[in-house]
Amino acid sequence: MAPLNSRRVAYVTGGSRGIGQAVVRALAAANHHVVAVARNREKLDQLVGELTAAGLGVEPAALDVADSTALTASIEKVIAEHGRLDVLVNNAGITRDGLFLRMEDKDFDDVINTNLRAAFVACRAAARAMIRARWGRIINIASVSGITGNAGQVNYSASKAGLIGLTKSIARELAGKQVTANCVAPGFTVTDMTEPLPPRIKDEVREIIPLRRFGTPREIADAVAFLAGDAAGYITGQVIVVDGGMSM
């Protein structure tokens, strides 16, 4: 394993499962030192143990990203310990689905706080190190729901639409410092959030996807890994949609 100071450091929220775990694996395989962030310490330790045993650089950070103080402190600790933070992937997200006429304020606020406000806090904390280095990659995981809307998900769709606006604005502010900011917007992806859907619903969804299948976490992670690398240095303020053609 290469010395840490020769490798870029990445901070990935929601890193213990699904798309986030796939991103952790992809960035670690690409020789990043990855800080995997999630609430579930047990799942984090399992992932970190597996990847470090394979010679990859990964460390856990167990926290709730909705806790702005804890999130900021965690990012500042990473920067202090490693002397850099090169890649930030805001992937952590929750759902509290329901028709908007019946939606409680708390269900709206919880989703906005975790999916959008936490991303803002993380970007603010990470950007200073990237500006000093005059190199950085901010990658926010949005959703096609933030582009098209989705019945029963006004809170989730609003959070993801807001994330797109946040990303485009950050891209404009940081471009002069050679820091890019982009979104990856997955469509229906095979994760533990989509797995409980009834077979009938899954079949109906596949019918509206031109490729006639759900995406995989690895396919989303590959898009993130590309945006995190040198080859994507001239891409900023963009939304890379990975949805099998569903939203075209």
Which residues are known to be catalytic?
A: 156
Q: Residue 64: how many CB atoms within 10 A of its CB?
A: 15
**136: Cβ contacts below 8 Å, ≥ 6 apart:** 85, 86, 87, 88, 126, 127, 129, 130, 174, 177, 178, 179, 180
Identify whether the C-beta of residue 141 lies closer than 8 Å to the C-beta of residue 89: yes
Q: Helix or strand or coil: residue 221?
A: helix
Find how far residue 145's CA is from the centre of its chain: 15
**Residue listed under structure tokens 């029963």:** 152
Q: Give start and end residues of each alpha helix (H) in 5-134.
A: 18-29, 41-53, 68-82, 105-112, 118-133
- The alpha carbon dihedral of 108, 163, 83, 129 has a sign of negative
Q: Helix or strand or coil: residue 141?
A: strand
- What is the distance between the alpha carbons of residues 62 and 127, in angstroms, rounded to a whole number? 21
